[in-house]
Amino acid sequence: MFGKDKDEDRFVTEKASSDKNIRTYILTDKVTGNQYLASWISTGGGLTPLLDENGNISKSDKYPE
What is the per-residue pLDDT for 64?
Answer: 75
Distance CA 56, CA 44 (A): 26
Q: What's residue 19's pLDDT?
A: 82
pTM for the whole thing? Answer: 0.77
pLDDT (0 to 100) of residue 51: 94
Ranges under pLDDT 50 in the chain? none
How far, in Å, CA of 34 to CA of 24, rounded?
A: 17
Residue 26's SS3 state is: strand
Domain boundaries along the sequence of the chain: 11-49
CA distance 59 to 25: 16
CB neighbour class for 35 (10 Å; exposed up to 12, middle 13-18, buried from 19):
buried
Predicted pLDDT at 21: 83
Rounded Cα–Cα distance for residues 58 and 52 (Å) = 5
